[in-house]
């Protein structure tokens, strides 16, 4: 396997904080993948999922003489010759075309960081997802052309909450749900900076209240891969393709994503995987 690197990084791997996939660099606010114990197929899968985005990683000796350092690989593509070997080809990427979002999730009750939580940037044409590391930290690189006047960043704890519920050592009774996390979304403007921001996550709450009747209710909207479709077609696609990613939003979040001021509920369906 041959690897061409334009600009090796000089940051010290041992000085970085640990994360789920390797390390996290505080200097450039990026996750650094540990490639030293990964197979060739695993390495290829990582770069295929990156879809041209830059990747930082630590290389084993078999890849390069600079294995003790950290490398930055951009716009990686694989080309397979007549042999089984792959060649890594790198080109420069204009980082000004990316908007960085980063922060930390803290649980209000315990004041502790929340690891393994889903953090999702929502655009009607696609979604970009990551997970918080063991310190509750996340970072996302968003193509700047997806940033609108108003944008939605969603924190989803459904998978994490299911693991908590199924934990036999769970000390808080299920009827209280005080150790479960409430899904939430934030709105931010195009000119607003989300950089190392701390987000306080509320526990799940159960409410009792009255019912009100609203006349002339706003319509619901249905989008599939960024295109508006009918409710009937949306439901058919969802039923026929249970692996498609589904989101639902209401209120200001729905208005921001759809770019419409008169909307009750927005349902989004994606056939493509997250970047």
pLDDT of residue 64: 42
pLDDT at 20: 59
CB 164 within 8 A of CB 174: no
Structure tokens at 110: 């315990």
Task: Compute the half-sphere exposure of residue 117: CA atoms within 13 Å on the CB side of its CA.
Answer: 28
3-state secondary structure 59-116: CCCCCCCCCCCEEEECCCEEEECCCCCEEEECCCCCHHHEEEEEEEEEECCCCCECCC
Which sign does the torsion angle of CA 53, 56, 60, 62 carry? Answer: positive
Query: What is the Cα–Cα distance from 270 to 268, expressed in whole angstroms?
Result: 7
Greatest alpha-carbon span in the chain: 70
Chain length of the chain: 275
C-alpha distances out from residue 54 to 150, 165, 173, 186, Å: 26, 37, 45, 26
Residue 260 and residue 245: Cα distance in Å, rounded? 22
Q: What is the pLDDT along the chain (275 residues), one digit of tens a residue?
A: 445 455 567 677 777 777 656 777 766 767 788 877 777 777 777 777 776 667 788 776 545 433 334 444 433 333 332 223 333 333 333 445 889 999 999 999 899 999 999 999 999 899 999 999 999 999 999 999 999 999 999 999 999 998 888 876 766 554 445 578 999 999 999 888 899 999 999 888 655 444 444 455 678 899 999 899 999 999 999 999 999 999 989 888 888 888 888 788 999 999 976 55
CA distance 78 to 44: 8
What pLDDT, on a 0 to 100 scale, did the predictor assign at position 172?
56
């Amino acid at each position: 396997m041959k690897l061409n690197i334009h600009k090796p990084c000089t940051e010290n791997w041992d000085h970085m904080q640990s994360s789920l996939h390797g390390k996290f660099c505080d200097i450039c606010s990026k996750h650094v993948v540990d490639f030293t114990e990964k197979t060739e197929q695993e390495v290829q899968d990582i770069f295929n999922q990156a879809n041209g985005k830059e990747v930082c990683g630590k290389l084993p000796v078999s890849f390069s003489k600079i294995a003790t350092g950290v490398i930055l690989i951009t716009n990686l593509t694989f080309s397979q010759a007549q042999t089984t070997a792959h060649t890594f080809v790198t080109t420069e990427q204009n980082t000004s075309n990316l908007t960085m979002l980063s922060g930390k999730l803290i649980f209000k009750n315990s004041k502790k960081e929340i690891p393994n939580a889903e953090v999702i940037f929502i655009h009607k044409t696609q979604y970009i997802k990551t997970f918080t590391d063991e310190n509750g930290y996340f970072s996302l690189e968003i193509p700047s052309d997806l940033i609108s006047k108003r944008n939605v960043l969603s924190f989803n704890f459904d998978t994490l909450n299911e693991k908590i519920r199924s934990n036999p050592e769970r000390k808080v009774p299920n009827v209280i749900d005080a150790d479960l996390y409430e899904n939430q979304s934030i709105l931010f403007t195009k000119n607003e900076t989300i950089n190392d921001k701390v987000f306080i996550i509320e526990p799940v709450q159960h409410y009792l209240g009255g019912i009100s009747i609203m006349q002339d209710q706003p319509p619901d909207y249905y989008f599939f891969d960024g295109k508006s479709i009918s409710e009937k077609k949306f439901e058919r696609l969802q039923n026929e393709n249970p692996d498609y990613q589904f989101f639902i939003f209401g209120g200001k979040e729905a208005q921001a994503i759809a770019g419409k001021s008169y909307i009750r509920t927005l349902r989004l369906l994606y056939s493509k995987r997250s970047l």
